[in-house]
């Protein structure tokens, strides 16, 4: 009897367990069905929202028993403020419509925002775009030559901008290939080693923001670099001694009662100031014309006291340098003593010129001859006035003739010649009258066509040799 009762109880327990399991399965099926018919939706349904600071926007969530959560997981329950929620559910509807409103977007709003329902959730990522802003910095920098300098450029924004440098519109990356010993890019700064005066100019810091491999924004900041260096004379008689530039005395010649302009040019930063001295005494009452890098002293040599040593000093706050010019009284050359026609052609005249001042060791020796020609017919028409001549200067040499080309055939020319040295031109030698030929073959030592140039040169050589032999026999 007792065993029968135990069996009945056991059977009842089994039946109860089966009933409980059936109820649970039914509840699970109900939840699964509910999950299928009651999801959460957000609109717009973009996974990433890109917005700018101070923009406004809203995102709507539809579902049952829903709420919005901050990126840190706390519930957005404010009904007003910068970020708040507003219920737009339809009366009588089981579905909710809850709007997340950003009245003013802040860069701290970056992150994942989630709409949570009782059985589902949906999220979107807010990416707040922050425009590029540069940190205030010194935009004009002065540095001395041969020093090192670092140019800084700090830019903020979201996405974080990258920095690119350029110098006078040329990328530093390109310059580094040529000047690797000078430019070194360090993160956002640019280091310039052993800076030279040629590094002066405008450097550009370009900040670039990239989003999904495309440029979002780009801004530039210019930095002016001013390299300071002492004066350097640009125009003077200088030579290298043991690898260093040394000043030498620059000699110039002048004649009495003439005017000479002395030039002193220097490069420096800051700009140089110029001072002139004559025989050790500062000059202040003379005609001195100064510009930024240039000084011109006009000297009237009216007496022997005007000659002597002139010194130009160029200086700035870093240092000074000088140039000395020794003015010596000289004389212009004598005009040529011999002018003769060696040969002629239809378009050329070959003229021998003889002078006494051709010693190469003489600083006042003749250096050039100036030839001037006018057609005789024009000379007569102009009442024997010298107008619009054809002219040419040729280097003076010993025992050579000088060929004038591109002349008119069968034309008589009036020719005058003067000698030049470092001081200037001599007086004109007496005028000569020479004629070109009329397109005829060689005759009487003359040539009519350049195709016969070799024969012509032989004729000239023979004529010069004969002239030299004649001169020696006379001596």
| C-alpha–C-alpha distance, residues 153 and 190, integer Å | 8
Which parts of 279-334 are beta strand (E)? 281-282, 287-290, 294-301, 308-315, 320-329
Report, as an integer, the average pLDDT of 302-310. Answer: 89
Distance, C-alpha 429 to centroid of its chain: 53
Cis link prior to 44 (omega < 30° from 0)? yes
Look at the chain and report how many structural domains it folds into. 5
Residue 229: which pLDDT band, with cuts at 50, 70 and 90?
Answer: very high
23 Cβ contact partners less than 8 Å away, ≥ 6 residues apart: none
- The residues near 148 (Cβ < 8 Å, ≥ 6 apart) are 191, 192, 193, 194, 195
Pair 126, 164 in one domain? no
Share of the chain above pLDDT 70, in %: 79
**Quick one: pLDDT at residue 50?**
83
Question: Could you list the residue range(s) of the whole structural domain that residue 5 is in?
Answer: 1-32
For residue 159, whether the previous peptide bond is cis, meaning omega lies within 30 degrees of 0, is yes
Out of 274, 295, 329, pick the residue that ends a domain. Answer: 329
Asked if 14 and 63 sit in the same domain, the reply is no
The confidence band for 247, taking pLDDT boundaries of 50, 70 and 90, is low
Asked whether residue 407 falls in the same domain as residue 420, the answer is yes
Domain end among 166, 195, 229: 229
Three-state SS at 273: strand
Same domain, 470 and 375: yes
Q: Which residue has the higher pLDDT, 94 or 469?
A: 94
pLDDT at 433: 96
pLDDT band at 270 (very low <50, low <70, confident <90, very high): very high
Lowest mean pLDDT among 54-68, 89-103, 169-183, 219-233: 169-183
pLDDT for position 1: 54
Q: Are residues 219 and 242 located together in one domain of the fold?
A: no
179 and 107 belong to one structural domain: no
Question: Per-residue pLDDT averaged across 344-356, rounded?
Answer: 93
**34, two tokens:** 């509910």
Based on the fold, state whether residues 267 and 294 are members of the same structural domain: yes
- Range name among 91-95, 157-161, 205-209, 410-414 with the lowest pLDDT average: 91-95
H helix count then E strand count, the chain: 4, 34
Global model pTM greater than 0.75: no
- Per-residue pLDDT at 340 exceeds 90: yes
Q: Which of 195, 214, 229 is the last residue of a domain?
A: 229
pLDDT the model gives residue 413 = 96
Instruction: In whole angstroms, give the CA distance from residue 170 to residue 63.
Output: 58
Kind and range of the H or E run holding 193: none
- What pairs with residue 328 in β-bridges? 253
126 shares its domain with 139: no
Beta-sheet strand order (sheet of 320-329): 249-254, 320-329, 308-315, 273-278, 281-282
Same domain, 101 and 144: no
Q: What are the start-end ranges of the E strands in 159-213? A: 162-167, 170-171, 183-186, 189-192, 201-211
Q: Are residues 460 and 385 in the same domain?
A: yes
User: Model confidence over 356-410: pLDDT tens digits?
Assistant: 888 888 889 999 999 999 999 999 999 999 999 999 999 999 888 999 999 999 9
HEC profile of 450-465: HHHHHHHHHHHHHHHH
Hey, what are 73's tokens?
């997981």
Same domain, 141 and 119: no
What is the mean predicted confidence (pLDDT) over 107-122?
Answer: 91
């Amino acid at each position: 009897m007792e065993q029968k009762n135990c069996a009945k109880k056991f059977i009842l327990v089994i039946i109860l367990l089966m009933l409980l399991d059936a109820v649970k399965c039914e509840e699970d099926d109900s939840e699964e069905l509910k999950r299928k018919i009651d999801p959460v939706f957000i609109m717009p349904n973009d996974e990433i929202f890109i917005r700018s600071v101070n923009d406004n926007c809203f995102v709507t969530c539809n579902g049952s028993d829903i709420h919005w959560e901050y990126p840190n997981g706390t519930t957005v329950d404010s009904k007003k403020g910068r970020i708040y929620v507003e219920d737009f559910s339809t009366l009588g509807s089981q579905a909710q419509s809850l709007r997340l409103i950003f009245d003013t977007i802040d860069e701290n709003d970056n992150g994942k925002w989630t709409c949570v329902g009782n059985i589902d959730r949906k999220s979107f990522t807010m990416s707040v775009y922050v425009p590029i802003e540069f940190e205030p910095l010194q935009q004009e920098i002065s540095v001395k030559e041969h020093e090192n300098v670092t140019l800084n450029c700090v830019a903020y924004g979201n996405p974080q901008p990258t920095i690119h440098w350029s110098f006078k519109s040329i990328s530093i990356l390109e310059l580094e290939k040529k000047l690797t010993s000078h430019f070194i890019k360090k993160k956002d700064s640019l280091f310039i080693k052993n800076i030279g005066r040629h590094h002066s100019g405008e450097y550009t810091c370009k900040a670039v923001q990239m989003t999904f491999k495309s440029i979002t924004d780009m801004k530039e900041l210019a930095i002016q670099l001013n390299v300071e260096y002492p004066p350097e004379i640009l125009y003077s008689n200088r030579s290298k001694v043991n690898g260093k530039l040394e000043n030498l005395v620059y000699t110039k010649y002048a004649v009495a009662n003439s005017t000479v302009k002395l030039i002193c040019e220097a490069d420096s930063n800051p700009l140089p100031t110029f001072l002139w001295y004559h025989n050790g005494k500062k000059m202040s009452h003379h005609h001195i014309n100064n510009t930024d890098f240039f000084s011109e002293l006009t000297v009237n040599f009216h007496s022997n006291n005007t000659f002597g040593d002139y010194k130009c000093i160029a200086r700035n706050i870093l240092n000074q340098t000088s140039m000395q010019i020794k003015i010596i009284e000289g004389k212009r050359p004598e005009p040529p003593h011999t002018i003769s026609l060696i040969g002629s052609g239809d378009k050329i005249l070959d003229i021998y010129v003889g002078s006494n001042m051709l010693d190469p060791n003489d600083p006042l020796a003749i250096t050039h001859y100036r030839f001037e020609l006018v057609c005789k017919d024009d000379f007569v028409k102009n009442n024997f006035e010298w107008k619009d001549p054809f002219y040419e200067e040729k280097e003076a040499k010993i025992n050579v003739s000088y060929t004038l080309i591109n002349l008119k055939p069968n034309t008589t020319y009036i020719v005058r010649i003067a000698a030049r040295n470092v001081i200037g031109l001599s007086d004109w030698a007496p005028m000569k009258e020479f004629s070109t030929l009329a397109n005829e073959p060689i005759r009487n030592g003359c040539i009519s066509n350049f195709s016969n140039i070799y024969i012509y040169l032989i004729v000239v050589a023979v004529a010069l040799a004969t002239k030299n032999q004649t001169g020696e026999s006379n001596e």
